[in-house]
């Protein structure tokens, strides 16, 4: 049981072992409250309520701000995304490329629905975007994307398609060679591990998720490490992300 004593600024957590009190402004209380908020947001489909420059973007806003910080630091020549949906993240990343005056985006999806394709192609940032329709781990699609990336271009890869461990691991193997040294391949939505029993979840999510794929990948690839992105600015006491993407950022180190 969790109780909030707002008057005294205390969070009280009770279990079979007893109870603990945390000042509500402490990192420990923030972590507990954040985990509850993430679960509540999942159950209420909170992330299905945002757009970016007119296109639905099904992401947690804090994750977008954090990936923006990473992209601005890396300044990739090309951002490769698997999973397009409505195109919101394509437009988000294209807008960063335009703002930086550098970069472009390649989006891959097994099916780009006609109304989404039309909206993306008519968007004012479409000249920063290339669409590829097909399964992200199909040999022909992977080879086609690799031909689009020049050998001297710095790539950053974002995985947001099929979130099973097997598929995410196949994508990591397929696209990691496009990641530049000190850039990242990002395996999104590892929060699945913590959502077993929630609405729209499956019992196997405890192991069948992108976080598990990322952890297995780095065990077999010594040129990548899982590395939390550093906060570029922080005058507070919180140092951990509130995120749908735990253990998502794999940095290439050699």
CA nearest to 233, candidates 93, 59, 33, 66: 66
pLDDT value of position 226: 98
**What value does the mean pLDDT take over residues 146-162?**
97
116-152 pLDDT, tens digit per residue, is: 999 999 999 999 999 999 999 999 999 999 999 999 9
What domains can be seen in the chain, in order of their start residue? Answer: 2-44 (no CATH), 46-252 (3.40.50.150)
Please give the model's pTM, rounded to 2 decimal places. Answer: 0.95
Strand order in the sheet with 224-226: 129-133, 104-109, 78-82, 155-159, 184-187, 249-252, 224-226
Task: For strands 224-226 and 249-252, give the pairing.
Answer: antiparallel
Supply the pLDDT for residue 17. 84
Q: Would you put residue 57 in left (φ > 0), alpha (ψ -120 to 50) or beta?
A: beta
């Amino acid at each position: 049981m969790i109780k909030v004593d707002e008057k005294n600024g205390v969070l009280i957590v009770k279990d079979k072992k007893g109870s603990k009190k945390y000042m509500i402004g402490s990192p420990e209380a923030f972590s507990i409250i954040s985990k509850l908020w993430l679960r509540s947001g999942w159950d209420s489909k909170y992330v299905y309520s945002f757009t970016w420059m007119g296109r639905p973007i099904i992401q947690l806003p804090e994750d977008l701000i954090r990936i923006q910080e990473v992209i601005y630091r890396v300044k990739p020549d090309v951002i490769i995304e698997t999973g397009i949906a409505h195109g919101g993240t394509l437009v988000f990343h294209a807008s960063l490329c335009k703002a930086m005056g550098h970069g472009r985006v390649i989006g891959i999806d097994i099916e780009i629905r006609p109304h989404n394709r039309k909206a993306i192609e008519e968007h004012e940032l479409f000249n920063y975007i290339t669409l590829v329709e097909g399964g992200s781990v199909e040999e022909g699609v992977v080879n086609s994307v690799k031909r689009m990336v020049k050998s001297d271009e710095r790539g950053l890869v974002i995985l947001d398609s099929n979130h099973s461990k097997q598929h995410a691991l196949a994508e990591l193997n397929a696209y990691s060679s496009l990641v530049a040294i000190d850039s990242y391949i990002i395996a999104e939505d590892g929060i699945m591990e913590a959502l077993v029993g929630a609405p729209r979840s499956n019992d196997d999510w405890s192991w069948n998720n992108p976080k598990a794929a990322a952890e297995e990948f780095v065990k077999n690839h010594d040129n990548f490490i899982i590395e939390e992105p550093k906060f570029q600015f922080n005058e507070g006491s919180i140092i951990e992300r509130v995120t749908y993407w735990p253990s998502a950022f794999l940095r290439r180190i050699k």
